[in-house]
Amino acid sequence: MNHDRLYVGMSEDIEQRLKEHNAGKTKSIKAYIPYTLIHSECYQNKTDALKRERQIKNSGKIRQELKQGSYKAPSSNG
């Protein structure tokens, strides 16, 4: 199934999180599997990671650039 949805979230184990999502363990996104990892960022603490997650979720420009493959991440992460 091809869809134009972008999932933004955080996890301490990104590979495990992706496996769980693609196994259909998260009901709210189950209808849109499979997911492919297109971008990731690392942060030193949960506060900074949550702040960045909200920033991406609230920015139409960042989300569009991620979908198009043209997004350039900030040079310094937490």
pLDDT tens digit sequence for 7-35: 899 999 999 999 999 999 888 888 889 99
- DSSP reduced 3-state for 16: helix
Look up residue 53 and give its two tokens: 């997650």
b/e per residue 52-62 (b: at least 16 CB within 10 A): beeebeeeeeb
Look up residue 31 and give its two tokens: 């209808």
pLDDT bin (cut points 50, 70, 90) of residue 76 is low
Cα 42 from Cα 57, distance rounded (Å): 16
CA 11 to mean position of chain CA atoms: 9
